[in-house]
Structure 1
């Protein structure tokens, strides 16, 4: 694989890798370093990539595994990961109710189990297709659809609890 082929076929994936790596690593400097190291690793393995039937899947799987390895090697420390903090909304926004709703949704999403939150973010926030999600996670499309459906149901149920409580019509189980 030549330099031009690498730039043409693999470099465009960096735009799609960045949100995934941001979600997994959290730190901007760490993401840039990891992305650079990953591209170097892919360049060194470019002959394997030439034989690969699905280079996109290979790149996403390599990136995911690379991030997981980085996280394992790190000492435990506090890191702000995308989704673990409520969205910051500018105070001069047009609609206070919309800001409040967004805050509630971000709180509910923050409390979702990892896979549910990850799939919901990929589909609804990043706008990824199921094929792209499959390449990122390694799970089948039917399983991703189930996770997405369950995560939407959980978000809906939690928001209903919040708004029913605020209206004074809280149901006890």
Structure 2
């Protein structure tokens, strides 16, 4: 793989990787460093990559695995700690209702199985399509669709229970 092929086929994906890497590692600065390291690793494997049937899938899988390795090395639980993640974006970020809703949704996300949580975050927060999600998680697209559907159902029913309870319906 030449420099130009690498630039056109692999390096262009670095911007698409940023939301996922940033979310997993927890900061933009760590994500920028990680993406540089990921690109270096992939560049070193460029001879094997030339004949790979799904280059973007390989890049996403490599990025995800790299992030998880960094977290394990630092003894941080993936998707676990305090996250700067905002599920719902509002014009008025200081609005207490929006902050409370985000907190409730983040609490619900903690109860989801890991794969459902990952697919939900990659699809609805990061904006990846199902082919990219399937490649990154090394699953089939149909399975990714099932996981997102189940995650959305669980989040929806948990929100209904929460708000019905607050209204005194239970």
In 2, the alpha carbon distance for the partners of 1:21 and 1:2 equals 26
In 1, the alpha carbon distance for the partners of 2:27 and 2:168 equals 41
Aligned to 2:31, the other structure's residue is in SS state helix
Q: Give unpaired runs (5+ residues) of structure 2.
A: none
Offset, 1:162: 1.1
* Compared CA separation, residues 140 and 86, structure 1 to 2 (3 A): closer
How many residues are matched? 166
Is residue 90 of structure 1 aligned with residue 93 of structure 2? yes
Find the counterpart in structure 2 of residue 13 from structure 1.
13
Q: Give unpaired runs (5+ residues) of structure 1.
A: none
8 Å CA contact retained: 1:134, 1:140: yes
Offset, 1:108: 2.5
Find the counterpart in structure 2 of residue 112 from structure 1.
112
8 Å CA contact retained: 1:120, 1:148: yes
In 1, the alpha carbon distance for the partners of 2:138 and 2:115 equals 12
8 Å CA contact retained: 1:60, 1:136: yes
In 2, the alpha carbon distance for the partners of 1:106 and 1:87 equals 10
8 Å CA contact retained: 1:21, 1:67: yes
Q: How does the TM-score come out when normalised to structure 1? A: 0.81
Find the counterpart in structure 1 of residue 140 from structure 2.
140
Aligned to 2:119, the other structure's residue is in SS state helix
Find the counterpart in structure 2 of residue 26 from structure 1.
26
Structure ID, larger Rg: 1
Find the counterpart in structure 2 of residue 55 from structure 1.
55
* Compared CA separation, residues 27 and 55, structure 1 to 2 (3 A): same
* Aligned-pair Cα RMSD in Å: 2.7
In 2, the alpha carbon distance for the partners of 1:66 and 1:102 equals 28
